[in-house]
């Protein structure tokens, strides 16, 4: 969490104030050579796969560990002064999303020690794929209709992005269960008391925080290579599967697409 036990050492890297492009090339060459030097040596399990400045958590199936960089420990992902609903809807959903990768079809290939071993049964795979197909069809329908922010998306992207779409749904559901548990047992120490804040209930703040995470100004297309769906779909595509969202905001009966809702459990 936040930063690695040992920082990367760039003591031998030459940086020139008047050569920004050269600095980038030298830095990449320096890191490439350092990675080559690791060949044949024991794996350093303390080394981070992402920089501390990355606004992205990461699950490593070989180490069976989650990395949460310092960049995520600030708004809009986490605020020590915010209530549980806000923090669970953002960072809570992110961490639970990464946990979901440990038990998805890719995580099934590695055991708890990070060894390459298939620990699912044939029935497990069948059940997972049956339920995953619902999410795939949801995305294909949205892409075909150019809805939910998928202006340039293709229907075949549904298979490419399925793992991330499923993890988004599982992540938000686990975070919501955590919020419901907090409401039963009491808020985290130091967190504001539960109840309406700025006119929003804990559940409304939870879903608002989740949606706010994915605000962006950029190309909506997946480009045919990104395993993540467009940001707008990561909000609308997920929330359409949550009756708790519709209840929290008292949506009209005709706005409840329950027939097409998907869930993993």
**Which candidate in 60, 83, 84, 98 is catalytic?**
98
Integer Rg of the chain from CA: 21
Active site residue 84: no
Please give the chain's pLDDT, 265 residues, in tens: 999 988 888 888 999 999 999 999 999 999 999 999 999 998 788 888 888 999 999 999 988 999 999 999 999 999 999 999 999 999 999 999 999 999 999 999 999 988 999 999 999 999 999 999 999 999 888 877 765 455 455 555 677 788 999 999 999 999 999 999 988 876 566 555 567 778 899 999 999 999 999 988 765 554 556 788 888 889 999 999 999 999 999 988 666 556 679 999 8
Q: What is the DSSP string of 138-188?
A: HHHHHHHTT-TT-TT--TTHHHHHHHHHHHHHHHHHHHHHHHHHHHHH-PP
| Cβ atoms of 176 and 96 closer than 8 Å | no
**pTM confidence score:** 0.84
| Cβ atoms of 77 and 90 closer than 8 Å | yes
**Which candidate in 168, 182, 203, 232 is catalytic?**
168
Active site residue 113: no
Query: CATH number of the domain at 50-260, please?
Result: 3.40.390.10
Delimit the CATH 3.40.390.10 region(s) of the chain: 50-260
């Amino acid at each position: 969490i936040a930063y690695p036990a040992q920082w990367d050492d760039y003591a031998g890297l030459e940086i020139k104030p008047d050569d920004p492009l050269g600095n980038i090339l030298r830095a990449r060459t320096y890191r490439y050579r350092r990675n080559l030097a690791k060949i044949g040596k024991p794996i350093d399990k303390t080394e981070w796969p992402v920089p501390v400045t990355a606004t992205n958590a990461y699950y490593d199936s070989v180490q069976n560990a989650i990395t949460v960089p310092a960049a995520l420990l600030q708004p809009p992902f986490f605020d020590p002064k915010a209530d549980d609903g806000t923090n669970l809807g953002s960072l809570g959903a992110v961490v639970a999303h990464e946990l979901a990768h440990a038990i998805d079809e890719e995580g099934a290939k590695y055991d708890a020690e990070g060894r390459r071993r298939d620990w699912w049964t044939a029935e497990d795979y069948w059940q997972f794929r049956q339920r995953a197909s619902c999410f795939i069809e949801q995305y294909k329908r949205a892409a075909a209709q150019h809805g939910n922010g998928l202006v340039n998306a293709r229907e075949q992207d549904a298979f490419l992005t399925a793992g991330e779409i499923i993890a988004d749904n599982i992540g938000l559901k686990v975070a919501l269960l955590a919020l419901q548990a907090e409401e039963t047992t009491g808020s985290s120490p130091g967190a504001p008391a539960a109840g309406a804040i700025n006119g929003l209930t804990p559940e409304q703040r939870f879903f608002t925080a989740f949606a706010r995470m994915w605000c962006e100004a950029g190309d909506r297309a997946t480009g045919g290579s990104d395993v993540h769906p467009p940001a707008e779909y990561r909000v609308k595509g997920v929330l359409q599967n949550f009756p708790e969202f519709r209840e929290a905001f008292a949506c009209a009966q005709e706005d409840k697409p329950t027939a097409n809702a998907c869930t993993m459990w």
